[in-house]
Amino acid sequence: MASGALICEGTVTIANDGAPLCSGMWHLMALPEPFDPSQLPIADLAAMFVFGFGLVGLCCVLGIVGRLLLNAIHNPNKE
């Protein structure tokens, strides 16, 4: 079954029973298939997973280093 959307060339009106009526011709416009992660290779999924955690880990490490640096500047004699 092909997925798509019905497009009316003319104007759309609503009948008494609620059905849409087109003054021209109805056309089926093709729509892209929805994204399905099961179609991706396992290596790509693993790479995205590692990259995501690496990005979060990098932000955490930069925050810790920044906090230590600011503490060293603000309180140079305390350990």
Instruction: Give me the residue spans of the domains in the chain.
Output: 1-34, 35-79
| CA atoms of 58 and 47, how far apart (whole Å) | 16
Using alpha carbons, select from 67, 1, 66, 9 the residue that is nearest to residue 31. Answer: 1
pLDDT of residue 54: 95
- Is residue 2 a contact partner of residue 30, using CB atoms and an 8 Å limit? yes
pLDDT > 70: what percent of the chain? 95
- Residue 67: pLDDT over 90: yes
pLDDT of residue 42: 92
- Is residue 5 a contact partner of residue 29, using CB atoms and an 8 Å limit? yes
Amino acid at 75: N
- Interval 33-62: pLDDT, tens: 888 888 889 999 999 999 999 999 999 999
Using alpha carbons, select from 34, 25, 33, 23 the residue that is nearest to residue 6. Answer: 25
Query: Could you tell me the pTM of the whole model?
Result: 0.47
